[in-house]
């Protein structure tokens, strides 16, 4: 079974500063994928970034980067230059058999609420 | 632009009612999913479907069933709604091959009284 743990129920950051949201995972599958999603108060889940377990480089998407430390089984999300619109719930998720043919079932963490202060 | 549409944003039902939650995607995706979101528990998979008329149980299928008669539509059915099924329900879809990204609908907040 796969498991995702997000230990920070809530985080606060000042506008324009960087923030790191923690995510650790547990899986016995050698091939897997890690995701971060953002959920604003409106409710929709917005895909942010993806990292495959065999990817050598850390994934980056604009102001988002994924700090992937395979040996430590961590996949922290780093948001640079925070904006007020970044205030939301953030979820880390894992799927097995990343890439190729996959049903892509996701296992989610509990989520972290990020609040950006002006 | 990708689009997953859930038929209702808010629903209020009574205990014992049969409830249908509808989800439609316009991306020709093979895979579709129903999740339930509760505070402190994140999202949990109820059922998923990898093709028309095909379905598999997720982690918490008890009290739910699903229907997928057409590729673009995936329905979640609460046969006899109970108060412990009050929750946020999210539908998602993804292609069978290539990208593993799941695209989500806006969610349905269901209250069972």
pLDDT at B72 over 80: yes
Using one digit for the tens of pLDDT, what is the confidence trace for A7-63?
999 999 999 999 999 999 999 888 889 999 999 998 889 999 999 998 889 999 999
Please give, rounded to a whole number of angstroms, the shortest distance from the CA of A31 to a CA of chain B. Answer: 13
Pair B44, B64: CB distance under 8 Å: no
Q: Does A91 touch chain B (CB under 8 A)?
A: yes
- Tell me what pLDDT residue A105 has: 85
pLDDT above 50 for B7: yes
pLDDT for position A101: 47
Contact A93, A47 (CB under 8 A): no
A91 with B43: Cβ contact below 8 A: yes
Select the residue of A99, A101, A106 nearest B102 (Cβ to Cβ).
A106
Specify whether the CB–CB gap between B100 and A95 falls below 8 A. yes
Inter-chain residue contact A105 with B100, CB threshold 8 Å = no
């Amino acid at each position: 079974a796969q498991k995702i743990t997000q230990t920070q129920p809530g985080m606060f950051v000042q506008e324009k500063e960087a923030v790191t949201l923690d995510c650790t995972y547990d899986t016995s599958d050698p091939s897997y994928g890690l995701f971060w999603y953002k959920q604003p108060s409106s409710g929709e889940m917005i895909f942010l970034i993806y990292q495959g377990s065999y990817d050598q480089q850390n994934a980056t998407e604009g102001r988002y980067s994924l700090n992937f430390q395979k040996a430590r089984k961590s996949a922290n999300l780093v948001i640079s230059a925070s904006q007020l619109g970044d205030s939301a719930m953030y979820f880390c998720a894992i799927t097995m058999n990343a890439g190729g043919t996959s049903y892509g079932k996701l296992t989610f963490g509990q989520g972290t609420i990020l609040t950006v202060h002006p | 632009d990708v689009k997953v549409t859930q038929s209702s944003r808010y629903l209020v039902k009574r205990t014992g009612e049969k409830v249908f939650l509808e989800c439609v995607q316009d991306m020709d995706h093979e895979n579709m999913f129903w999740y339930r979101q509760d505070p402190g528990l994140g999202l949990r998979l109820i059922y998923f479907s990898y093709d028309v008329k095909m379905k598999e149980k997720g982690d918490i299928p008890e009290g739910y069933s699903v229907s997928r008669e057409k590729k673009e539509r995936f329905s979640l059915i609460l046969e006899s709604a109970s108060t412990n099924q009050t929750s946020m329900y999210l539908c998602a879809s993804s292609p069978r091959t290539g990208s593993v990204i799941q695209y989500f609908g806006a969610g349905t907040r269901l209250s069972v009284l």
